[in-house]
């Protein structure tokens, strides 16, 4: 498959490493005169890490090319992954130009962390094949991709994007609504806000706050996100018991933190319980807990492993 990466910066190069490692032909479009040198230097740094994942990566191989002329860069692309500046006017003009010169069946994806596809595609004649494919940095290692269709994106484009990313070993999620910041960055923003507040208030030092997260939530959420963790936190009663025990305390804490209220009404709790059971009800609490414990031990062993610099 021919993949054109627009932008040879940190994210674009990381994407290129992943695409090349999975056998795709990659053309990087960037007008900077030193882009080839910079990209190949970074690919050489990434190379040993891809080998650890079982993938070969050749920064000097024929699968990688560079093209400063946009029409030529996208002319034969099956997929375009845009990694340009986070400026709406830039992206709108870019996609109109890409659309005019790429194949009609090419899938058009943006790495934007917050500008929606609906906004980016306003000047396009055929916006149905354009959507956001937002990675978490670095894309060559972190599995998440947020697939965010615009209001005029077709279901076929969503399906193709999800299959494309899954074929790279990614964990794509599809957002049902366009929302500023998407999902992962909104969660991250809320955590960083509270982290800054706790340090600023003199509650904890920067280093101890990092230890608190690394030694608790980081480990817990690596093996099960907030809802699976809550399901296990309810013991034998699962998510339903969790809400019975902790819902009131959570809401009081949210009020104390002066956060925008999210009411855990009976209807909300039932809707969440139904989704948790649909997602995780195929295994018992004991089975889920055993899988979690095995994964936690594997993580602890990995984090305790010495590095070459030690």
Domain count of the fold of the chain: 2
Q: Which range, of 92-101, 109-118, 255-264, averages the lowest pLDDT?
A: 255-264
For residue 259, the model assigns a pLDDT of: 79
For residue 310, the model assigns a pLDDT of: 46
Please report, rounded to a whole number, the percentage of residues in the chain having pLDDT higher than 90. 92
User: Could you tell me the residue range of the domain that residue 93 belongs to?
Assistant: 2-174
Residue 255 pLDDT greater than 90, yes or no: no
246 shares its domain with 108: no
Mean pLDDT, the chain, rounded, equals 94
Q: Which range, of 152-156, 243-247, 256-260, averages the lowest pLDDT?
A: 256-260
Cα–Cα distances (Å) from 157 to 69, 114, 134, 178, in that order, read 26, 20, 15, 16
53 shares its domain with 193: no
Where is the domain boundary, 174, 206, 224?
Answer: 174
Does residue 188 belong to any structural domain of this protein? yes
160 shares its domain with 18: yes
Contact 77, 106 (CB under 8 A): yes
169 shares its domain with 206: no
pTM of the shown model: 0.90
Contact 161, 132 (CB under 8 A): no
Minimal CA–CA distance to 80: which of 5, 30, 26, 136?
A: 5
């Amino acid at each position: 498959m021919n993949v054109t990466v627009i932008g040879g910066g940190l994210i674009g190069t990381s994407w290129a490493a992943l695409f090349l490692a999975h056998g795709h032909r990659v053309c990087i479009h960037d007008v900077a005169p030193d882009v080839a040198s910079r990209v190949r230097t970074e690919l050489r740094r990434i190379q040993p890490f891809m080998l650890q994942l079982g993938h070969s990566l050749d920064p000097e191989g024929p699968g990688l090319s560079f093209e400063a002329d946009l029409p030529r860069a996208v002319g034969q692309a099956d997929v375009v992954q845009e990694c340009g500046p986070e400026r709406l006017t830039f992206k709108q003009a870019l996609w109109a130009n890409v659309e005019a010169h790429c194949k009609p069946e090419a899938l058009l994806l943006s790495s934007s962390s917050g500008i929606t596809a609906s906004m980016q595609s306003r000047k396009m004649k055929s916006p149905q094949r354009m959507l956001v494919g937002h990675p978490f940095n670095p894309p060559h290692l972190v599995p998440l991709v947020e697939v965010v269709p615009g209001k005029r994106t077709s279901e076929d484009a969503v399906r193709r994007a999800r299959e494309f990313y899954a074929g790279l070993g990614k964990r794509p999620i599809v957002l049902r609504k366009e929302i500023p910041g998407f999902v992962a960055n909104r969660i991250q923003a809320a955590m960083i806000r509270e982290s800054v507040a706790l340090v600023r208030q003199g509650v904890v030092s920067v280093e101890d706050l990092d230890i608190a997260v690394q030694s608790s939530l980081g480990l817990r959420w690596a093996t099960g996100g907030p809802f699976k963790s809550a399901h296990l936190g309810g013991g034998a009663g699962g998510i339903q018991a969790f809400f019975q025990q902790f819902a009131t305390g959570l809401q009081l804490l949210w009020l104390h933190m002066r956060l925008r209220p999210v009411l855990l009404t009976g209807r909300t709790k039932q809707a969440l319980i139904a989704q948790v059971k649909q997602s995780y009800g195929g295994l018992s609490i004991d089975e889920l807990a055993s899988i979690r414990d095995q994964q936690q031990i594997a993580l602890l062993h990995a984090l305790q492993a010495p590095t070459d610099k030690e």
